[in-house]
Amino acid sequence: MVETKTVEFNKPVLTGEIAVPGDKSISHRAVMLGSIAKGKTTITGFLDGEDCLRTIDIFQQLGVTIERNGTNVTVESPGMHSWQSPKEELYAGNSGTTARLMLGILAGSHVTSVLTGDEYLSKRPMNRVSVPLKSMNASIEGESDSNLLPLTITGGQLTAMDYAMPIASAQVKSAILFAGLNAEGETSVSEQTVSRDHTERMLEQFGVAIQREGRTVRVQGGSVLTGTDVRVPGDISSAAFFMVAAAMTEGSSVTFKDVGLNPTRTGILDVLENMGAKIDIVEQSTGLGEPFGTVTISHDGLRATEISGDLIPRLIDELPVIALLATQATGNTVIKDAAELRVKETDRITAVTTELKKLGAQIEETEDGMIIHGPTALTGGTLASYGDHRIGMMAAIASLAASGSIEIEDPSCINISYPGFFEDLEKLAFRTNIHR
């Protein structure tokens, strides 16, 4: 039997203040770089969601000492040379970031390992990483020309390269930069459209002298990383669900404390502003590392917008819930240049259009995006999550605009990035009704 959760609201108003869980991308990288580095790394605000826990499991299998106490993590490593070849397969679960970044790390290590994933991850393309890594001399073998997990990685000495990225992907960029740490010579990666730069910022925090010139990043092979303290801000991609909720429901105003404000991730704030929401931002100062601050989003009418081009990588994970928001906005919202959505945890273009149509939304699927005609009154219904956390959360937020209750199938996938999501929803929304 499929597990379900029913969420129902009656004229909801969202008010109050929350601190969303730690940033998923930054949490993965903190454990990865802490394990590569020599010495002790302490991480505060770590995301204890399923994806990041898989990254911890993997490094523990490689012999790194990692202790976790809730959202506080300590990593103690003598450096990569001390890693052992694991006895069992390394299981990345549902986590594309774990799988793709680990390929870049393992390829330049001295260990041999087999990387696997769950049924969804096993269908996602790994070629985008394994092909460039192979041109650095990496040994990566597996089915479909090493495109699909499981993959066997025989670590060894890599050669540097200059790579011009054909797609905007921080996972690909990061995998190559990690491989470059163990390559002979200088590796460079050039992007056409800037993707999230957490890896670059964190390498600097760990003492690596990377060079950033325009859209090109360079790293020297043999760079030494030293353990450090990492503070993980709240994940703006998680906050986005409640930002949309506040922008969508009349009378609402929600404050987000300590949320990440890295400009490569704040596309959602630009879109909310363009659509008419009221936004207040108080940024806290940062040295090396990630900017963060307090953001308040208040409802103030809602109009359609166009989302395309350079904006896409700055809000790629937020597009499902933005599509939902557009169903409540006046006019036609066009989302394009977002074909990458088709290779996320599920095909998010098909999943979003299929599920929102079940509630009466007027939404069209295009090859690289969606067109949403609003505003439309949404009804209740039963929505599938496709095992995709962001589709599951979009379904829950849809209940705020729906006239009836929404039943979400397989809601446990939400724990991948937002444990405590339903508790936060209940805390913020007035007159909620959630049943298991």
Minimum separation from the CB atom of position 176 to ligand S3P (A): 12
Order of strands, edge to edge, in the sheet holding 253-260? 15-18, 253-260, 292-298, 278-284
Pick the closer one to ligand S3P by CB: 97 or 253. 97
Pick the closer one to ligand S3P by CB: 35 or 432. 35
| Residue 175 is a binding residue for ligand S3P (CB under 6 A) | no
User: What is the distance between the terminal CA atoms of the chain, rounded to a whole angstrom?
Assistant: 14
Determine which residue in the list 58, 73, 80, 170 makes contact with ligand S3P, applying CB under 6 A.
170
Tokens encoding 398: 């849809």
Contact call for residues 264 and 237 (beta carbons, < 8 A): no
- Judged by DSSP in three states, 272 sits in helix
Stretch 97-116 residues interacting with ligand S3P (CB under 6 A): 97
Contact range with ligand S3P by CB under 6 A, out of 165-173, 228-236, 248-256, 278-286: 165-173
Q: Catalytic amino acids?
A: 317
Pick the closer one to ligand S3P by CB: 318 or 407. 318
Pick the closer one to ligand S3P by CB: 299 or 344. 344
In order of 22, 251, 325, 345, 385, the CA distances from 413 in angstroms are 17, 30, 22, 11, 8
Contact call for residues 68 and 59 (beta carbons, < 8 A): no
Q: Tell which residue, 17, 434, 419, has the closest CA to residue 252.
A: 17
Contact range with ligand S3P by CB under 6 A, out of 164-172, 331-339, 349-357, 377-385: 164-172
Helix or strand (DSSP H, E) at 295? strand 292-298
Pick the closer one to ligand S3P by CB: 359 or 370. 370
* Per-residue exposure over 175-199, b if at least 16 CB sit within 10 Å of its own CB, e if not: bbbbbbbbbeeebbbebebbbbbbb
| Residue 249 is a binding residue for ligand S3P (CB under 6 A) | no
Q: How many CB atoms lie within 10 A of CB 145?
A: 12
Minimum separation from the CB atom of position 284 to ligand S3P (A): 22
Minimum separation from the CB atom of position 89 to ligand S3P (A): 22
| Residue 317 is a binding residue for ligand S3P (CB under 6 A) | yes
x/- mask, ligand S3P, residues 17-56, rule CB under 6 A, reads --------x-------------------------------
Say how far apart CA 378 and CA 402 lie, in whole Å: 5
Determine which residue in the list 55, 61, 130, 169 makes contact with ligand S3P, applying CB under 6 A.
169
x/- mask, ligand S3P, residues 341-380, rule CB under 6 A, reads ----------------------------------------
Tokens encoding 69: 């106490």
Q: Give me the residues that bind ligand S3P (CB under 6 A), please.
A: 25, 97, 169-171, 174, 195-196, 316-317, 340
